[in-house]
Amino acid sequence: MKRNLLLVEDDLLMREFITDYFKKEQWDVYEAENGNLALEIFERQAIDLIVLDIMMPELDGFSVCRQIRRNSDVPIIMITARVEDDDQLRGFELGADEYVTKPFSPRVLVARAIALLKRTEGTIGREGNLLTFGGLTVNRMSHTVSVEGKSISLSPKEYELLLFLTKHYGKVLSRDFILNAVWGYDYIGDLRTVDTHVKKLRAKLGAEGRCIGTVIRAGYKFELEG
């Protein structure tokens, strides 16, 4: 089955090199040499996976990742020539799924992309743009949420929060992590913002609000009760 890759890399030779390897594996590749163009392509095309360079003109990879994660959980592999741990941690905090440091083998990159897709497509209750968790359904295409077939009205930020929690199914997420990922690093506010929105979200989800568990002294975890 054909897959759509969005390759975001400002180095032309590197783009051509990576593109050739993905095309050999029957991927359709959309290329962007800067972050702004990447976001434009992402809005127009159905993308299955993103390979995203960090150091780019106009809009860097961190900013692109942050904006995409506001509305989508598409798998993202970040690539960089820098090896600092802080860069990698920031990438993961923003929602990146994999991290590759230059120089790297394009064959290994393709293998990682395929493995990552297998993991994400195997996530519980996922069918295309429809996510189901018990009686809770999230439609990523229409940005709608329903519980037992009844539509639930969420604010844009509540929807972003729910989508972010479902993406990290089964993982304990700190309030700092959630605040930075959903509201952004430049948000002026404190951790009570997260608690307030979680409380409102639980109330609106009714019985399915139990999926959002509180982990004492750690944060929150989205998971179906066993």
Q: What is the pLDDT of residues 172-201, one digit of tens each?
A: 888 888 888 888 766 777 889 999 999 999
Cα distances from 198 to residues 65, 66, 86, 105, in angstroms, run 23, 20, 28, 42
pLDDT at 67 over 90: no
> Same structural domain for residues 9 and 102?
yes
pLDDT at 83 over 70: no
Can you give the CATH number for the domain in which 107 is found?
3.40.50.2300
Given a contact cutoff of 8 angstroms between Cβ atoms, the answer to whether 80 and 54 are in contact is yes
Last residue of a domain, one of 121, 148, 167: 121
Can you give the CATH number for the domain in which 215 is found?
1.10.10.10
93-111: per-residue pLDDT in tens? 777 888 888 888 888 899 8
> Same structural domain for residues 111 and 142?
no
Last residue of a domain, one of 76, 91, 121: 121
Furthest C-alpha separation in the chain: 53
Last residue of a domain, one of 102, 121, 140: 121
> Same structural domain for residues 146 and 213?
yes
> Same structural domain for residues 116 and 39?
yes
> Same structural domain for residues 53 and 82?
yes
2-52: per-residue pLDDT in tens? 688 999 999 899 899 999 999 998 889 999 999 999 999 988 887 889 999
Residue whose C-alpha is closest to residue 205's, from 139, 135, 130: 135
Range of the domain at 54: 3-121
> Same structural domain for residues 13 and 82?
yes
Residue 217 CB-density burial (10 A; 0-12 exposed, 13-18 middle, 19+ buried): exposed
> Same structural domain for residues 171 and 197?
yes
For residue 211, what pLDDT band results from cuts at 50, 70 and 90? Answer: very high
> Same structural domain for residues 108 and 154?
no
Query: How many folded domains does the chain comprise?
Result: 2
> Same structural domain for residues 100 and 23?
yes
> Same structural domain for residues 27 and 109?
yes
CA separation for the pair 91, 149 (Å, rounded): 36
For residue 214, what pLDDT band results from cuts at 50, 70 and 90? Answer: very high
For residue 125, what pLDDT band results from cuts at 50, 70 and 90? Answer: very low
pTM over 0.85? The answer is no
> Same structural domain for residues 139 and 209?
yes
